Structure 1
């Protein structure tokens, strides 16, 4: 059978978190950078598909290819680590300080990879700055501004909105990573993770690593967004919202209901009576 039962998935979640806690800073940064660049590529492809067809849902159908590559190659997104790494700490087989530093290294790696891909894409889309942004480039600029100054225009309400969108996003992203654990086959993993990722991207929720690509790339191509606006109105609140949504709604919730229970003691039975001869 290809299907992996939920109780076994819960064990896999803990084991995966424990394995990730044992990785070196170099591994975390390299895997994080690769994951950030792959997610950036998937995002730009999704924008391209939506723009060419005029149907935003097409972009949402395309976008999950990024997480599929990341999961199959064992790369690291800080958003996925938010859901898995607290579990070994709950079982006292992991250290909270190690968990926090793991998040820091993966975050740095994700940022490096996302921005590197964004810079290369900006060169490709504008002929190294020789032509004005059009098509996908103009779309990236518009999205970068909507994700920062768009929220700032609403003040406190905008901050609450971006935080809640980030919670909803990583609830789905971490669910996608866990769903991939429900199958032992490549095709099964891809099909399972596709569903929650479609839900997230199709509704415009906020993902910190996607935004590490979109916002600075838009800024490079002329988006009217300052560094302070990027971090204050998006990157910081989105990262915190992702942490809450992934760790509580997916990681902790599934662990609490599906974690392996201790076997119940076998009922006592009286020895069978043997008739005297």
Structure 2
């Protein structure tokens, strides 16, 4: 394995984290660190030009998002999703061309903390990149204004820009801070996954879900706002645009804060990336080989420290909750038929499991496959239960952290509280399942989730993992099965939102009946849902998949079907 680096600048710092096939976590960390050194060593002119390009790309992506969504009058969530997919153009251009995005360069801090670059070099890079992004965004403002594109559709496009910009400058500081933090977390995860990829297809698929989620869910990005708000400030002086804005708004909008200096500030995010590299292995593992990979993963997990396991588990809880809130948002006002809405829910929810599998983290349901290592006598009973306990607790912490952040971001108020109402209805339905229903749905769910893990372990590229995840995870979500970690976000969010009369009123209007929320409590969460669903997940993952596949491929007299992956998954640097 290649040399690695740590926070003290020493080599041979090996963390036995999951290194499946593409670039493993340690290798990705090295690549991010080396890219940070490269970025900080660029001369001023080169950094400035690359930063201007990134500002241009982000502005082009933002105007495409506005263009795609500006005439939506229903199915807002799905229209936002389509706009988010369109906006991904910006990040794809930045990644493939190697442009410099301010918020993405936050990852250069890794090189600084590892003492690979000086504080002066880091600060210089951030300042130049910020200025360059601003110049690039303002250049697009000038070009688009001159082009008259904002006059499209009887000035409705310009009106949408003005109203969106006005919304942004009127968001309270705490709320916009939370949205900016969530947004850049998503895009940095997308960039991180790009470092794992080895082809442009890997990179595009890595960016698609996090970037779409960021834009569709209304999170904040400072460079996007460098185009959007100045464009709104200019267009608000146009009478035809104001007339169209009044028509959309249903009255005269208060644009008093839409000025260069008085609007509220944003905190925000983002990313950059790059890199490829080729490898001479592009064939998936066979089933017997995959079984050996699963077995080795159990051994690697058993070697993790408590801190490593807990932190990776918290990340997984956050990732799954991101997918859950994304799915809630996109389908909150869907007027499509139930089957198609369920299908879309499954596709967008896949974001959570894509992040788990590609970015690297520890999910309780996937960790049920550790039973394979136990049955092969590679890990002990206490190690198996230690992993499961730590991962379950960490996932719960991550899910509750997302509940707090999403509540603070006030995303539940979107679409006149329809997003919050959808979250409330989802939680209400889950806590009113019978014990047998929750158990059966949990069993079927984790059978599919563990099959997804199996598919990902058989894969050797990011594209393989992403596409594999879409089918298995999309299938369980669309089918209405129950996932204990997802419910660690869904139901607590509902418990909190039931205290808001406006949300309850909208939820009852959506449901067409008065809701009995007596079961939507913490007790109802733990007893009616989490307990039976967790038991069902264990049955599906441990027995239906883990034990059965061990019996098929790894029981002693079947070893001739397997292979040794010791060299590939070794944790020693040689």
State the TM-score, normalized to the length of structure 2.
0.43
Conserved? CA contact 1:126–1:133, under 8 Å: no
Q: 2:332 aligns with which of 51, 57, 65?
A: 51
Aligned residue in 1 for 2:307: 26
Structure 1 residues 1-277: aligned runs within 5 Å: 1-54=282-335, 55-82=341-368, 84-125=369-410, 134-148=417-431, 150-151=432-433, 158-222=434-498, 224=517, 225-259=520-554, 261-263=558-560
Structure 1 alignment gaps of length 5 or more: 152-157, 265-277
Provide the aligned C-alpha RMSD in A. 2.0
Conserved? CA contact 1:37–1:116, under 8 Å: yes
Partners of 1:173 and 1:97 in 2: CA distance: 24
Cα distance, 1:51 vs structure 2 = 2.7
Cα distance, 1:251 vs structure 2 = 1.3
Partners of 1:172 and 1:217 in 2: CA distance: 25
Distance of aligned partners of 1:126 and 1:194 in 2 relative to their CA distance in 1, 3 Å threshold = closer
Aligned residue in 2 for 1:268: none
Partners of 2:346 and 2:411 in 1: CA distance: 25
Distance of aligned partners of 1:262 and 1:208 in 2 relative to their CA distance in 1, 3 Å threshold = closer
Cα distance, 1:116 vs structure 2 = 0.7
Distance of aligned partners of 1:117 and 1:133 in 2 relative to their CA distance in 1, 3 Å threshold = farther
Residue aligned with 1:134, SS: helix
Partners of 2:494 and 2:408 in 1: CA distance: 12
Distance of aligned partners of 1:252 and 1:38 in 2 relative to their CA distance in 1, 3 Å threshold = same
Structure 2 alignment gaps of length 5 or more: 1-281, 336-340, 500-516, 562-574
Distance of aligned partners of 1:20 and 1:56 in 2 relative to their CA distance in 1, 3 Å threshold = same
Partners of 1:46 and 1:192 in 2: CA distance: 19
Distance of aligned partners of 1:257 and 1:99 in 2 relative to their CA distance in 1, 3 Å threshold = same
Partners of 1:168 and 1:131 in 2: CA distance: 33
Q: Deviations over 1:216-259 (max 9, x none)?
A: 11111126422211100011111111001011111122222123
Conserved? CA contact 1:166–1:241, under 8 Å: yes
Partners of 2:401 and 2:325 in 1: CA distance: 13
* Segments ≥4 residues shifted beyond 4 Å: 130-133
Partners of 1:212 and 1:161 in 2: CA distance: 18
Conserved? CA contact 1:50–1:57, under 8 Å: no
Partners of 2:521 and 2:415 in 1: CA distance: 20
Conserved? CA contact 1:44–1:136, under 8 Å: no
Residue aligned with 1:64, SS: helix
Q: Deviations over 1:123-163 (max 9, x none)?
A: 22368xx9998112111111111111x22xxxxxx111110
State the TM-score, normalized to the length of structure 1.
0.86
Q: Deviations over 1:142-193 (max 9, x none)?
A: 1111111x22xxxxxx111110000000000111011111211111111122
Between 225-234 and 200-209, the greater mean CA deviation after superposition: 225-234
Matched length: 254
Partners of 1:132 and 1:234 in 2: CA distance: 29
Residue aligned with 2:297, SS: helix
Partners of 2:314 and 2:458 in 1: CA distance: 26
Aligned residue in 1 for 2:184: none
Residue aligned with 1:254, SS: helix
Conserved? CA contact 2:322–2:351, under 8 Å: no
Between 21-30 and 237-246, the greater mean CA deviation after superposition: 21-30
